Amino acid sequence: MKKLFDSLSRTLFLYNFSIRSRLILYFLFLVLLPTTIISVTVYNKSADIITRNVNTSIENNFNLVQDNLAQRFEAADHSMIALYLNSEFADLISSNRPTDSSGIMNELAALNKILENFPANGTPGNSFVPMLYMLNRPEYTQYNFSRRVFNIDLISLKPWYLGIPARSDFTVVGLSSLDSRFTLKFAKRLFGIRHAQLPYVGLLTIDIPVSEFSTLPEHYKPTPGSSVYIADATGTIAISPEPALIGQNISSQQYYSKMSSLAGSPGSLDGSARLHSFRQIINGENMLVSYRTIEDTGWTILSFSPVRELNGELASFRRVMYIVITICMLVSFMMALLLSENISAPIRKFIQSMSHAESGNFNITIRYRRKDEFSYLFNRYNKLLQQIKALIDKLYVTELRKKEAELQTLQAQINPHFLYNTLDSINWIAINHDIPEISSMVTSLSDFFRYSLSKGRNIIPLRDELRQVESYLQIQQFRFQDRLEYELEETDPYLLEQCLVVKLTLQPLVENALIHGIQQRRGTGRIRIRVETLHEILSISVFDDGVGADPEQLNHLLAAQQPGNQSYGIRNVHNRIQQFFGESYGIRYYANTEDGCGLLAVIRFPVITTWDEVSEDVNDDRSG
């Protein structure tokens, strides 16, 4: 996760901003992200609930429209049944066809009277217009003086008549026109119920003005700006609160085509009574088109509702959501500013102090009163500045002392030259007086001092270190005469010339062996010096056959932190070797098993041939 966050931060270049800016961005992101997610989730959930409620409301309205329409259709059917069951009417249509013109005239007059007086019979619907089409009555055309009774040949070729199902009793024919006004026509097949064979005798129709149905859709509009229509199976608007729309065919409209495609069967739209809805731009406005097909008639109830009205509550909620998000953004931004300032202010103070320290002013102290992580950091930083200032002051004093020491060393260089000149004069006097012992001793002493000084260098070739020890042994041999023997075992000339060692490391060991070993024994003592290399380690071994000592005790004195004044010279040599080459090197004592008595002191150096190698080893040891 951390790698992903770092990669995203680098991609967005967040690391190029200051800590304060990043804190503001992070805080805003942490606040706005959940707020936005919650708001969007609640909004979508609310939108789904509102949409379902709208669909439920529209569906309930459609149910009411359909039920009300069914009741009116049923009322028309009952009116036709009431007329059909009228005893006088039933007798007339069940009687045989008159044989003369007077009989035809009487029958036509009687039927016309019944139809004209139809509402007076107590049946509902005083605006109903009944019409009768009798079968096999061509004389009606010749003697017709009625506006209600006709021969069936008048409608036999009409499409609506041909479309009446063969086994249908009551049929909703659909939109019709009567006396220059639109009506809804209903038809009922008539049979001679008084006749034994119940023959088909004609067709009864009722026309009801569309105006009686116009108020029906108006009462069930989902919103004030909505429109509800009822279209027949051909797509012609049959019922509408707007008279101008009645009779218009909408089958060529884009939304009607979409309705047909959703239904899967053009013309009938949908065989189910389910509610269907979709959105469509109509006359430049986003409308919710809802429709349902009435199964019995194949008619379709359509509702056109402006989305802006349906989503009024949703729009109000959206405004509230925007206001809440804006308030959250402002509050979070203010909190982010406060938080970022709270965190970045100490950092800026820290950076300012560091800039002063960088310019050399270490007297700056950061004052911070809070008790948090910055308090600990600033306290440690103040102590660090004090330590750095103390070290700088100490270094300054040390440099002054070093300059004084260099001056004293320069002044003291006169003494070695004076000593060499004096020893050289003594040597010539000894030669002139033919005293070779004095000449040899003075020469050894001069060589000893010359190699001891080594022009002020601390690292010298192995050859010079061995010559210095040899000069020291020559001088001591004059002192001890026959009681001292020494041997410098042969060494590889390459090692003598190339290997570098710490100056004055062998002489203290030889002096220690001479004083504490050889001098304490009886008879002649012997000191041997051997140089070896193994695995890049240079070993210089000093053997003596003196009285000996405990090697473990001597090694313990070398390793002790506060050993006192014992073996001070040897410890000084040991420490100087480790100071130059590390703790892996130095002096180690062993029992002298080769001579059977005495001690063996071994000095271990790394095989170093150049001064650069010595510097690298010193730096590595100090850094480690």
pLDDT tens per residue across span 217-229: 888 888 888 888 8
- Of the segments 54-58, 271-275, 410-414, which one has the largest average pLDDT value? 54-58
Helices and strands counted in the chain (H then E): 19, 17
Specify the pLDDT at position 609: 85
Question: Is 158 a residue whose pLDDT tops 70?
Answer: yes
Specify the pLDDT at position 599: 92
What is the H or E stretch that residue 131 is in?
strand 129-134
- Of 156-165, 332-341, 499-508, 522-531, least confident by mean pLDDT is 332-341
Mean pLDDT for the stretch of residues 157-180: 85
Specify the pLDDT at position 241: 86
Question: Is 175 a residue whose pLDDT tops 60?
Answer: yes
Query: pLDDT > 70: what percent of the chain?
Result: 82
Specify the pLDDT at position 586: 92
Place of tokens 């601390």: 458
Q: Please state at what angle helix 312-358 crosses helix 373-412, rounded to 10 degrees.
A: 20
362 within 8 A of 384, measured Cβ to Cβ? no
Task: Identify the bridge partners of residue 131 per DSSP, sorted by sequence position.
Answer: 205
Mean pLDDT for the stretch of residues 267-277: 60
- The predicted-structure confidence for 430-483, as pLDDT tens digits, reads as follows 787 777 777 777 777 776 666 555 555 778 898 988 988 888 888 888 878 778
pLDDT confidence tier of residue 585, bands split at 50, 70 and 90: very high
Integer angstrom CA distances of residue 150 from 112, 146, 181, 250: 10, 8, 20, 33
Question: Is 351 a residue whose pLDDT tops 90?
Answer: no
Specify the pLDDT at position 123: 44
Question: Is 414 a residue whose pLDDT tops 80?
Answer: no
Rounded Cα–Cα distance for residues 542 and 364 (Å): 58
Give 310 or 592, the one with higher predicted confidence: 592
Place of tokens 């002054």: 400
Name the residue among 83, 140, 138, 153 with its Cα closest to residue 107: 140
pTM: predicted TM-score of the whole model, two decimal places: 0.49
Question: Is 1 a residue whose pLDDT tops 60?
Answer: no
Specify the pLDDT at position 537: 92
Mean pLDDT for the stretch of residues 171-191: 87
pLDDT confidence tier of residue 271, bands split at 50, 70 and 90: very low
SS3 label, residue 369: coil
pLDDT confidence tier of residue 623, bands split at 50, 70 and 90: very low
pLDDT confidence tier of residue 213, bands split at 50, 70 and 90: confident
pLDDT confidence tier of residue 2, bands split at 50, 70 and 90: low
Question: Is 572 a residue whose pLDDT tops 70?
Answer: yes
pLDDT confidence tier of residue 13, bands split at 50, 70 and 90: low
SS3 label, residue 99: coil
Average confidence score pLDDT of the chain: 79
Specify the pLDDT at position 15: 55
Specify the pLDDT at position 265: 43
Query: Which strands form 525-534's sheet, in the order they lie side by side?
Result: 484-488, 525-534, 537-544, 599-606, 586-591
- Of 18-32, 260-274, 481-495, least confident by mean pLDDT is 260-274
Q: Please state at what angle helix 506-513 crosses helix 462-480, rounded to 10 degrees.
A: 20
